[in-house]
Structure 1
Amino acid sequence: MEFRVLGPVEVRRDGHRAAFSGAKLHTVLAALLVAREEVVSDERLCRLLWGWAPPATVSAQLYTYVSRLRKILGGDVLIDRRPPGYAMCIGNSTLDLSEFEGLARNGREALHRQDFENAGNLLRDALARWNGLPFANATEYLSDAEAPRLMEARAVTLEHRIAADLALGRHEQITGELTGLVAEFPLRERIRSQLMTALCRSGRQADAIHLYHHGRTVLAEELGVNPGEELQATYRALLEGTLDRQPRPVAAVRAGAPAKGSGQGAVFPATLPPDTVDFVGRERELDLLRRALAPDGRSADRPRRVLVTGMAGLGKTALAVHAAHRCQRDFPDGQLYADLRSPDGTPRHPERVLLHLLRALGPARDVPLTADRDHLVRLYRERTAGRHLLIVLDNASGAAQLEPLLPNTPEPAVLVTGRTALPTVAGAHTVALAPLGPRDSLELLAAAAGPDRLARAPGAAAGIVEHCGGLPLALRITGTRIAARPHCTPDRLARRLSDPATRLRELHFGDLDVHTSLLPSWRTLDPQVREVFPVLAALGPPPFPAAAAATRLDLSEAEAERLLEALADAALLEVSGADERGQPCYLFHPLVRLFALSLGEAAAPAAEQPVGRPERNRRLTPRP
């Protein structure tokens, strides 16, 4: 059986098209196919079918569509109900999208090896899988959500195929095709550059010069930008009389390798921080990251963006850096790292981060001294396009900061860490970190303190692990203190940590401090949320529902829940189970609760007063 989505959604059995109709039935089939055996939630299917105005009978209609598909497709295809949605396994059947992606990937690899003949054949075969606009007979909601990504993948594959043809000297054969493509994609600078090259090699230098100036006008009028680096380089080579030679095309040069005659060494950025020598645990999370980041053939033309979230001190950076080092072989063109947070805890401006990344991508002398974000973004995306890079963006604060730093081609993979979910990382795999379990906590403590010192005090070690609440930062601080100070025995430190009133002060060593690591999350809160933070901590360690918070704060339950969700979004509160009414319960990490109670002397008396009456409240201020 053959499935097709690169054009009208179709099912073919023995060469004949299966008879079924209706945009919504085609939409359900296409959504399940594109998911590649992953679960498509009822909520997503609902949006793809009806947008934001679903009918009251959503569940019944979804069940009907899936039942019809099962009947049409028969036993060769399994559509399984897996809450919260459905997943489909097509078995030995074929999907044109998977074939396209596999051929395109192999073609790119052949292009990098400079096997131009084979590359051209593979890329032509990949493009032959297309039969029009993807999802042409599905709903507009599905087309809007999925088609732009596929159309971009097709355009990039087309550029690679043309690069192979140019390298083989077929400029005269493809000039007509390129002329039509420039008219179809007037803003794609690489295609314009390729037509300039073909024209020049065909003895039409004047037409090539006119094409450049026309493109510069189009870019200025449509986008307000100047031509990018590749198009300008083609123009300079045209004026210098070197474009009619047969150098390797830009798309075929291995990313970061020097162009012929450049005299420059290869630029393979490697700016990752050193790996953590004593990294402990997180094997499940590491496996998830490896599988999400490494190209696997099924997602070669889909952006690989992975997000690691969790509260401060959980080891998001250590996990991301460790995973990046383990994945180095999958990214032969280099690994980039940028910390998106300044030393004082404030978010860094995207322009500064872009300049840092551009200098790493090199050559540094070509990085413009400008604060024009649009120009820097365009240059950054040009330099990352087509390169098999891993880009680690650490401590992201929000969508506005992150969006300019994301490449716009599928080859670079991006690993982001942040304390909350970031909608900018569209379609990202999200890995939410939890505190370490007792065994991993003890292993991390032993790695930092030295196993011999802990072996002599197993009871104290267990007490330290309990007081640190599975927070890797706290465990590393206590272990480092034991290792660095012979007089700081595990028994003595366990006794000092046993007092909640002084525990946070003990969790400090050098630049490492639990209280300081939590402050940036607190500072981002709205004033009203800051105000209730210590008051809610006074509710105690057990989980509590919004109703209990509402009583303490003298607010409506809905308003209390809004404040609780704001704290959860800032990774200062966890959602933990539900009460007897099925409403979510909230839980403070033990150290976060102590942090909240330590924010000022006003916290304790304020906790006795209802926050819903501001005139009776005292302003809470953080500890210096």
Structure 2
Amino acid sequence: MEFRLLGPLEVVDGGTTVRVGGLRQRTLLGVLLLHRGRVVPLERLVDAVWDTDPPSSARDQVRNSVWALRKALGDAAGRVVVTEDAGYRLDTDGHVVDADRFADGVREARTRAERGDLDQASALLRTALGWWRGPALAGLRARLVRDMATGLDERRLLALEDRLELDLALGRHGEVVGELTEIVGEHPGRTRVVGQLMRALHGAGRSADALTGYQRARRHLADELGLDPPAELRELEAAILRDDPEPAPPRPALQAAEASRTRGRAVPRTLPYDVPDFTGRPVELERLVALGAGARTVVISTVEGMAGVGKTALAVHAAHALADRFPDGQLFVDLNGFTPDRVPTSPEDALAVLLSSLGVPRDRIPPSVDERVAMWRTEVADRRLLLVLDNAADAKQVAPLIPGGPGCLVLVTSRRRLTNLDGSVPVELGVLPEREAVALVVAILGAARVDDEPEAVAELVGLCGHLPLAIRIVSAHLQRRPRWTVRSLTERMAGEKRTLTALAAAADHGVTTAFALSYRALAPDQRRVFRLLGLHPGVDVDPYAAAALAGLDVDVAEAVLDQLADEYLLQQTGPGRYTFHDLLRAHARACAEDEEPATARHEALTRLFDHYRHAAAEAVNLLDPHDRDRRPRTEDPGGPLPFGHDVAAARAWLDRETPNLLSTAAQDGRHSHTCDLSLILWRHLEQQARHREAEALHTHAVASARAAADPLAEAGATRNLGRTQWYLGDLARAERLLERALGLFDHSANPLLTVTVLNDLATTVFQLGRHDEAIDHCERALAICAGTHDPTGEMQVLMTLGNGESLRGDDEASSRYLHQALRLAHDVGNRNIEARARLNIGDMYAGTGFPDTARTYLEHALELYREIGNREGEAAALANLGSVHTRLGDERRAARYLDQALAFFQQNGDRRWQSVALREIGTLHARAGRHEQADRHYGEALDLVRQIGNRSAEAEILDRLRENALARSTRATE
């Protein structure tokens, strides 16, 4: 298929135009095309379709539209519009995108121009520009589409300017006068084309017209923009007056390539909103703008000061002022250096965000910080980028994020002096001078409101400690109360005697007073919700959690959250998601501790934790109903579920709320919640390969159950911890934990748990090479399944037996067990186990010399894993498919699958599957005759399996090392 976005959106398949349905589907396709190759979160698609006020059914409508879009594209399997994580990705591999053709043509033209082949470069640019049929994605009105499409339109103009520059260099002055006259008429503020028209007219013998054009441009710049002509145009005018035969161009030919190095991708622009009433800081702002304007190498400026002093506002305002000087992108990253209850963002995670913003697919981002730094600096080496690193903890957090190439500006904000950040230029912010503080009040309230009370305004900013955050809060307070005077507000503030020790270290009494006043002005129900939210242990909150915490209906809770956001006491981070500013969180918590009795605080948190536990259990039950009996039955605390009975919505909710669920489970003294969440979340964390988080959760659950003298809960958590160690590659510890779990409970009273632990133990012992012992565990588990009618347990044990028999070399028995498990899974509709069975059968067929059959099973497994959102299983299927394509001789596809799988498992610390991927990459190199590279990968895999203690895998790798050595020896003697 061919996707056309350089003009009205079109899709062409085999010469026939594909009819893509209504505006909503076309908008979705437009957004996915602009982000091609990258995952677009569902919430961003909702924002694209509904610029404001999306309906409550928006997410479902987007999913329905995606289904309809796939149908229109003939993509029933979802291989073009790919479901991935909590969003969608457009995979254009094997398809044509006109924007990519355009970008390729422009790059080739610039390469030819650099080599001096100007004629061919001009022709290539004409061909590239011929792909355009009008403004990019014309007819799509969504704000997100238009913002990104503007970047494409800008690249067209830059390419057009480059082509005209080449034509002038080739002496075609008269030929381009008409075209340039038309462009200047449409874009009179583009000084480069003004200069090109002046040179064309002068070269065509029309110098007087060239000078008239200069005067026209000078008047436009002065009248419309308040600017003088740039120095380049003034120098060009002087050259024409001197009658120079060939005046120097305002910029060297093709220098506009600076602004077009995004390789066909949309220019990333992730700066936050610039507040329209930004006031003051003229000296600091001038300094930052001067640094950015003169950037010829990497310039780093650190904006430092106390909390609430306006560091972020200044950095963002300066970044917007400088944005046009950094045409390859403007990026913003919150490093969470001083965010309460948040771990500062690691350089690894920050680099992943930055690389994703530049369009690097997630599976191409390497695991280690050094590799990510190298990739980041390579990606930005030839770009002019502006980077805002907000809320930095220290220089160590920032240093890996600094670009290595020239022409970039980095603005860093921090509450700490970053004295050891080499080459940085500090800009230290204090509180606002009185004149600027008063001007900020005037900017927010309007002069008419405050002109008659200058003394009261001065007193107001004094009570706020001249701190911008506090001034904004109290001014917003007044803005919403038109009958209040400034004097009435200052009297209330002066009478506020409360102090907050929790804020004393972070701000002065003026901020405390400002917060307290805003809090006291709330209605009683709003005050109660605000202070209870301060008890929330997690990152953010939705209306359902707030309703549980405060014991309210969801609609009421949502209204209160919106009201608190309107008062600037909460920040809305996305549709239905709210969080605190750092200081306000501390203020809310202090209010709760002062005003809520200990029993009331405990009851509020119990309601919240009951909500999270029950909702998590119901979400997991929707995703994996066949294992329901193995999970705790939670009491319904009342109220609607956040996701209803929608499986996709449940998965998205679980992904979104996992940080809050883990924070809930980490609370001390909450034995039942901690242990239940260990049993509820283990599979979700496992499927998402969040093994380190799982390890922390299950470790805490084991300690909590032991402290509560609850052996059954301890057994469940110990079993989960054992499985996690298995994934992390510590088989010896996994075996010890599983043996301990088996000894903690009454097997006759808990047959399901017995089967589960025995099966996990058998899997571990098989890998340790003790096959007979493992089969004993399996037979014992199958006997229990027969007596309790446990089809889920039976299928799991059958797969363990099938894999174990394969290790023992009995392929016939292995096939029998695995196919029996597959039939049972298919009959009962257990897609999790069906996917795993197909994966294992595919692996078996690959090992027994039937790669085509193996590929069929593995592709079906991959499809199932993607449908159910099992990322760990998806990566395992990719690894096995890579192995199969090696056997089929398709090296390109094999390498792509194996590289994706290896990156995933390295990122998530799964040493067991890392060793598999490394082993198969070694085999890929061996079959291609690259014996040294094969040895290196085999050696890395061997080190891992020896650390793990997996004897079967060790024997397999040693066999392949011997085969590689023999092949190398044979080749050397030929």
- Normalising by the smaller structure, the TM-score range is 0.5 to 0.7
SS in 1 for 2:289: helix
Q: By how many angstroms is 1:191 displaced?
A: 0.8
Equivalent residue, structure 1, for 2:539: 575
Q: Which has the higher strand share?
A: 1
Q: By how many angstroms is 1:174 displaced?
A: 1.2
Q: CA separation of 1:166/1:8 partners in 2, compared to 1, >3 Å: closer, same or farther?
A: same
Determine whether 1:252 maps to 2:253: yes
Determine whether 1:216 maps to 2:218: yes
- Output aligned runs, 1:191-590, within 5 Å: 191-242=193-244, 244-245=245-246, 247=248, 250-252=251-253, 297-299=263-265, 302-303=267-268, 349-358=284-293, 392-395=300-303, 397-398=312-313, 401-408=317-324, 411-414=327-330, 434-435=343-344, 523-526=467-470, 534-536=500-502, 556=524, 558-559=526-527, 575=539
Identify which of 156, 175, 178 aligns with 1:173.
Answer: 175
Distance 2:197 2:56 in 1: 54
Equivalent residue, structure 1, for 2:47: 47
Equivalent residue, structure 2, for 1:59: 59
Equivalent residue, structure 1, for 2:72: 72
Q: By how many angstroms is 1:176 displaced?
A: 1.5
Q: CA separation of 1:254/1:535 partners in 2, compared to 1, >3 Å: closer, same or farther?
A: same
Distance 2:247 2:282 in 1: 47
Mapped contact 2:39–2:84 kept (Cα < 8 A): yes
Mapped contact 1:164–1:252 kept (Cα < 8 A): yes
Mapped contact 1:96–1:129 kept (Cα < 8 A): yes
Q: CA separation of 1:563/1:518 partners in 2, compared to 1, >3 Å: closer, same or farther?
A: farther
Structure possessing the higher relative contact order (Cα contacts under 8 Å, 6 or more residues apart): 1
Q: 1:350 corresponds to which letter in structure 2? A: L
Distance 2:247 2:90 in 1: 48
Q: 2:54 corresponds to which letter in structure 1? A: P
Q: 2:168 corresponds to which letter in structure 1? A: L
Equivalent residue, structure 1, for 2:165: 163
Q: By how many angstroms is 1:413 displaced?
A: 5.0
Q: 2:240 corresponds to which letter in structure 1? A: L
Distance 1:510 1:234 in 2: 45
Q: 1:407 corresponds to which letter in structure 2? A: A
Q: By how many angstroms is 1:190 displaced?
A: 1.1
SS in 2 for 1:3: strand
Mapped contact 1:2–1:13 kept (Cα < 8 A): yes
Bigger shift: 3-12 or 552-561?
A: 552-561
Q: By how many angstroms is 1:525 displaced?
A: 3.5
Equivalent residue, structure 2, for 1:368: none
Q: By how many angstroms is 1:205 displaced?
A: 0.4
Equivalent residue, structure 2, for 1:320: none
What do the CA deviations read for 1:349-385 (whole angstroms, capped 9, x no partner)? 3223233444565xxxxxxxxxxxxxxxxxxxxxxxx
Q: By how many angstroms is 1:5 displaced?
A: 1.0
What do the CA deviations read for 1:162-201 (whole angstroms, capped 9, x no partner)? 1111112121221111111112222211111101101101
Distance 1:510 1:78 in 2: 46
Mapped contact 2:162–2:253 kept (Cα < 8 A): yes
Distance 1:245 1:154 in 2: 27
Distance 2:322 2:417 in 1: 35
RMSD (Å) for aligned C-alpha atoms: 5.4
Q: By how many angstroms is 1:129 displaced?
A: 1.5
Q: By how many angstroms is 1:211 displaced?
A: 0.9
Distance 1:475 1:217 in 2: 48
Equivalent residue, structure 2, for 1:100: 102
Q: 1:85 corresponds to which letter in structure 2? A: G
Mapped contact 1:163–1:249 kept (Cα < 8 A): no
Q: By how many angstroms is 1:255 displaced?
A: 8.8
Mapped contact 1:6–1:96 kept (Cα < 8 A): yes
Distance 2:13 2:591 in 1: 74
Equivalent residue, structure 2, for 1:5: 5
Q: By how many angstroms is 1:37 displaced?
A: 2.6
Q: 1:196 corresponds to which letter in structure 2? A: M
Mapped contact 1:535–1:606 kept (Cα < 8 A): no
Distance 1:25 1:294 in 2: 29
Distance 1:131 1:227 in 2: 33
Mapped contact 1:79–1:87 kept (Cα < 8 A): yes
What do the CA deviations read for 1:225-266 (whole angstroms, capped 9, x no partner)? 222223222212211222x32646614276999xxxxxxxxx
Equivalent residue, structure 1, for 2:31: 31
Q: CA separation of 1:20/1:246 partners in 2, compared to 1, >3 Å: closer, same or farther?
A: same
Equivalent residue, structure 2, for 1:134: 136
Mapped contact 2:189–2:221 kept (Cα < 8 A): yes
Distance 2:31 2:256 in 1: 34
Q: 1:252 corresponds to which letter in structure 2? A: A
Mapped contact 1:23–1:137 kept (Cα < 8 A): no
Q: 1:88 corresponds to which letter in structure 2? A: L
5+ unaligned residues in a row in structure 2: which ranges?
Answer: 273-279, 304-310, 347-391, 399-415, 421-427, 433-464, 475-492, 505-515, 550-576, 597-974
What do the CA deviations read for 1:467-496 (whole angstroms, capped 9, x no partner)? xxx9657999xxxxxxxxxxxxxxxxxxxx
Equivalent residue, structure 2, for 1:381: none
Distance 1:352 1:87 in 2: 42
Q: CA separation of 1:558/1:115 partners in 2, compared to 1, >3 Å: closer, same or farther?
A: farther
Q: CA separation of 1:586/1:237 partners in 2, compared to 1, >3 Å: closer, same or farther?
A: closer
SS in 1 for 2:44: helix
Distance 1:250 1:182 in 2: 17
Distance 1:131 1:7 in 2: 5
Count residues with an aligned counterpart: 413
Distance 2:230 2:535 in 1: 43
Q: 2:253 corresponds to which letter in structure 1? A: A
Q: By how many angstroms is 1:563 displaced?
A: 8.6
Identify which of 93, 109, 116 aligns with 2:118.
Answer: 116
Distance 1:49 1:510 in 2: 42
SS in 2 for 1:172: helix
What do the CA deviations read for 1:391-427 (whole angstroms, capped 9, x no partner)? 5454352166324542326645556677789xxxxxx
Bigger shift: 96-105 or 395-404?
A: 395-404
Mapped contact 2:2–2:95 kept (Cα < 8 A): yes
Q: By how many angstroms is 1:12 displaced?
A: 0.4
Mapped contact 1:435–1:471 kept (Cα < 8 A): yes
Distance 1:6 1:50 in 2: 23
Q: 1:526 corresponds to which letter in structure 2? A: A
Distance 1:55 1:588 in 2: 28
Q: Which has the higher helix share?
A: 2
Mapped contact 1:49–1:139 kept (Cα < 8 A): no
Q: 1:93 corresponds to which letter in structure 2? A: H
Distance 1:606 1:56 in 2: 32
Q: CA separation of 1:537/1:142 partners in 2, compared to 1, >3 Å: closer, same or farther?
A: closer
Distance 1:92 1:251 in 2: 37
Q: 2:267 corresponds to which letter in structure 1? A: R
Q: 1:297 corresponds to which letter in structure 2? A: R
Q: 1:39 corresponds to which letter in structure 2? A: V
Distance 1:350 1:115 in 2: 44
Equivalent residue, structure 2, for 1:85: 87
Distance 2:94 2:69 in 1: 17
Q: CA separation of 1:604/1:211 partners in 2, compared to 1, >3 Å: closer, same or farther?
A: closer
